[in-house]
Amino acid sequence: MLIDGFEPFVGQHCETTATGNLLKYAGLNLSEPMLFGLGEGLGFIYWDMRTMALPFLGGRIKPQQITKNLALNLHLQASFQETASVRTAWKNVQSQIDSGIPVGLQLDCYYLEYFGNPIHFAGHYVAMYGYDDTFAYLIDTQQQGGAVKSALENLEQARNAKGPMAAKNLSYTIAPIAAAPNLAEVIRPAIQRNAEEFLNPAIANFGYKGIAKASQQVKSWFTRSKNIREDLTLVAVLIERGGTGGALFRNMYRDFLSECREIINDPNLTAAHDLFCRIAPQWSEVASLLTQAGETTKQCYLDQASVALLDLSKQEKEAMGYLAQLAAASRSV
């Protein structure tokens, strides 16, 4: 059973790719940067646990939240289902596919056989558009092959996985869209909320404060890991190639702001965009420094990464400050 007329949405990041496929089939085809920005997706988290070899540096808000923000901002009818039962989970998906509705899934990508270098990450997303007796037919990110398939038993394991970021067999759908939204009305409040969240984090591990914390902590990472080359390389890969479109989502947010400039004329938007044009390649530089630190075990590379991260914290605070002013100006009109 394959959904008739389904045409893949090609993306770099898993959640925006999955949701982009559902939106496209529902009648709204926006760019991936626009989906990321309207989903208020830019963020930062410095996540550290005793069981982790090295801390995790994340550049977006938590799983599911981009899609939920998009549903609110674009007035979508999005339905989410979770269950602890693998049988019910399959029925939830099967009934939608049989009705001609593609489904978004959250799962642990470790169990998907088409992943060349599998790691446990339970916050991964795919869109599903068909199945047969053996396989589920999925759309993953461009770097994972786009249109792919996975054995049904592997998909069941992936959906039912436990651990950090895991959901209980989450599936979701988006109802057909009657009319395209007025993006000029949607963009401003989405930017405002994202900027205010970034500038006013609940704890110092998030937002620009989290980047500053990473700057302080990264200098001591050689004392943390027993396999420093492998662990530092993994952190670098997640920054630069881990389904982010490069530079820890900063490339994507830069491109979102570029699209917004074609819709909204505001000097604060231009100032923030210009800053993100400088910020994005600096994140790629951080990834390169961490890779060199792992390959050489030289402290100087971690020290340079520390300096770069502190500068990024300051620049991102400034850029989001401009965007908060953009939103404030819109409320005074």
Counting Cα atoms < 13 Å in the Cβ hemisphere of 150 gives: 28
Q: Based on the domain organization, do 22 and 130 belong to the same domain?
A: yes
Which domain does 318 fall in, by range?
183-332
Q: Based on the domain organization, do 170 and 187 belong to the same domain?
A: no
Task: Answer for the pair 258, 273: CB distance below 8 angstroms, yes or no.
Answer: yes
State residue 327's pLDDT score: 60
Q: Based on the domain organization, do 167 and 230 belong to the same domain?
A: no
The residue-averaged pLDDT of 78-104 equals: 98
Per-residue pLDDT of 100-130, as tens digits, reads: 999 999 999 999 999 988 889 999 999 999 9
State residue 203's pLDDT score: 96
The residue-averaged pLDDT of 57-63 equals: 94
State residue 118's pLDDT score: 84
Q: Based on the domain organization, do 319 and 245 belong to the same domain?
A: yes
Per-residue pLDDT of 15-33, as tens digits, reads: 999 999 999 999 999 999 9
Q: Based on the domain organization, do 23 and 160 belong to the same domain?
A: yes
Of the pLDDT bands very low, low, confident and very high (cuts 50, 70, 90), residue 314 is very high
- Domain closes at, from 156, 174, 192: 174
**CA dist., res. 272 & res. 257, Å (int):** 8
pTM, rounded to two decimals: 0.95
**CA dist., res. 148 & res. 128, Å (int):** 10
Work out how many domains the chain is built from and give that number: 2
The answer to the question of residue 49 being in a domain is: no
Supply the CATH number for residue 216's domain: 1.20.120
The answer to the question of residue 240 being in a domain is: yes
Q: Based on the domain organization, do 128 and 209 belong to the same domain?
A: no
Q: Based on the domain organization, do 222 and 161 belong to the same domain?
A: no
Q: Based on the domain organization, do 168 and 208 belong to the same domain?
A: no
State residue 332's pLDDT score: 35
Per-residue pLDDT of 232-259, as tens digits, reads: 999 999 999 876 778 999 999 999 999 9
CB-CB neighbours of 29 under 10 Å: 12
State residue 52's pLDDT score: 87
Structure tokens at 308: 């770069």
Per-residue pLDDT of 257-309, as tens digits, reads: 999 999 999 999 999 999 999 999 999 999 999 999 999 999 999 999 999 99
- Domain closes at, from 111, 145, 174: 174
Q: Based on the domain organization, do 188 and 169 belong to the same domain?
A: no
- Domain closes at, from 135, 157, 174: 174
State residue 333's pLDDT score: 33
Q: Based on the domain organization, do 22 and 155 belong to the same domain?
A: yes
Q: Based on the domain organization, do 154 and 94 belong to the same domain?
A: yes
Q: Based on the domain organization, do 133 and 200 belong to the same domain?
A: no
